[in-house]
Structure formats: structure tokens, C-alpha cells
Amino acid sequence: MGYLDNSTIVVDAVLTKQGRKLLALGQGLNISYFTLSDTGVDYSLWNPDHPSGSAYYGEAIENLPNLEALPNSAYFMRNNLLTLPRDVKAMPYVTLNGNGIGQAASFNWPNGSTVTLGVNIKLENVASEDQGWQVVVPDSSLVVVSGAGWSQASISGNVQQYLNDQEIANAVVYECGPGISTVDIDRVNTTTTRTLILTFISKSTGAYKHFNLSLPKYPIDQ
């Protein structure tokens, strides 16, 4: 990873493994969508007291170096930009079992029972998520997401590939369509205590919330 010189306009494109595979097979990339992100921007540098006036309030932000493109979401494209109606006064946020901004969402899983979570988006004049949800599971060998309307999505080679602490490439993404407000999660048996962080993402806004799981050894030796 490196920094780009912000004195010139640079388009820095990096292909994922899947993109390189398609080119090696002689197939086109067929890019259909793109997203913008402000990862690496420090808005606390906005200075309304700048001695040169309002045209320079954002000077420090504009002079920040830009990160080179990375094909891994663990470090890049974490905060996607979005368009909201003009009258919206607050950014959307995700709640898990009612826990929202500043409230930790976690669960200590003592046994093999299924855990059901309620997931919702909080946005002015919006009653529920209207495009659906994604759940990023960094290690599918530990938990499985299920429930009505949920299915596993392919993330082969795209920017949602995540690094695993043990270098086990078992990351998966589950997704559902609109109208779904609950998700079931099942754990597997483990011989040691394991921890895992699931990420719930709103498809319509990009808002996300982490869910911390602690998986004690199970079954317990008698």
C-alpha cells in the first residue's frame, strides 16, 4: 500500500483476482456498477476559523494524500458514499436487536442453539430496508447464516474478500431481499473458544454495524 501524489488527478485501477482470472481466460470484465468511498478522509480537519476565509475551510482535507487502490475490503472501501433526499437531516444507521449508534451488539454463545437477530435500518421517513441486507462472515467454518429469504452470495475475487487471522480463506457473504427483518445464525462445535465479527450491511444505504460473537468451547467436556 502507498500514497498517491494529490497534485495531479490520478485514476488508479487495481484488478481483483477474479478480474485477472477473467482476462487470463480471454473474457471481458463487463463492469456494470461502481461505488465511491471517502476512506482515508479526515473530516475533523475542516477549519471554519481559517484566516483566509470560507474558501479555505477544507484546505487541510483537500491536501491529504490519497491511498492507492486496494482489492481488499479489510482496508479499503469501508465507507461508501451515497445519495439521500435533500430533506434528510441525519445519516442512516443499522440496529441489531434494537442496539444502534454507540451501543455494542454482541453475544456470548454458550451452547449450540440457533440465535435469531432483528436487523433494521434507521432513516428519516423510511420504515424498513427496501433493498435487502448483506452479512459478511469472515470465517464460514464457525457459523452459518440461515432463515427465510437468506442465501449465500458469491464473493470470489471481489473487494469483499477479507483476510482471516489464521489465513483460512473461508469468508462468505449472505444476502436477502427487501422485507426481511430477522436472521438466524447457527454455530459449529469448537474445541477452543473462538471469536468472530459479523458485519451487517444495508444494501440501500451502505450503512453497516458489527456483531461480536464469542464462541466458547462446545460441547463442554463432562
Domain extents for the chain? 1-81, 93-215
211 three-class SS: strand
127 three-class SS: coil
Specify the pTM: 0.70
Q: How far apart are CA 12 and CA 137, in angstroms?
A: 29
Q: How far apart are CA 25 and CA 9, in angstroms?
A: 32
Predicted confidence at residue 3, as pLDDT, reads 60
Kindly tell me the sign of the dihedral angle through the C-alpha atoms of 92, 214, 154, 170: positive
Q: Which residues pair with 116 in a beta bridge?
A: 184
To the nearest 10°, the Cα dihedral for 201, 206, 210, 211? -20
Query: Pick from 108, 130, 128: which is nearest to 118 by CA?
Result: 128
- DSSP-assigned letters across all residues of 157-191: TSTT----TT-----EEEEE-TT--EEEEEEPPBS
Residue type, position 70, single letter: L
123's CB contacts (< 8 A; 6+ apart) are 84, 88, 90, 92, 205
CA 114 to chain centre: 24
Q: How far apart are CA 70 and CA 142, in angstroms?
A: 27
Phi and psi for 17 in degrees, rounded to 5? -60, -40
Asked whether 89 and 124 are in contact (CB, 8 A), the reply is yes
Predicted confidence at residue 162, as pLDDT, reads 46
Predicted confidence at residue 4, as pLDDT, reads 62
User: Which stretches of the chain score pLDDT less than 70?
Assistant: 1-7, 9-10, 71-78, 154-169, 220-222
Q: What is the CATH number of domain 93-215?
A: 2.60.40.1080
Predicted confidence at residue 45, as pLDDT, reads 94
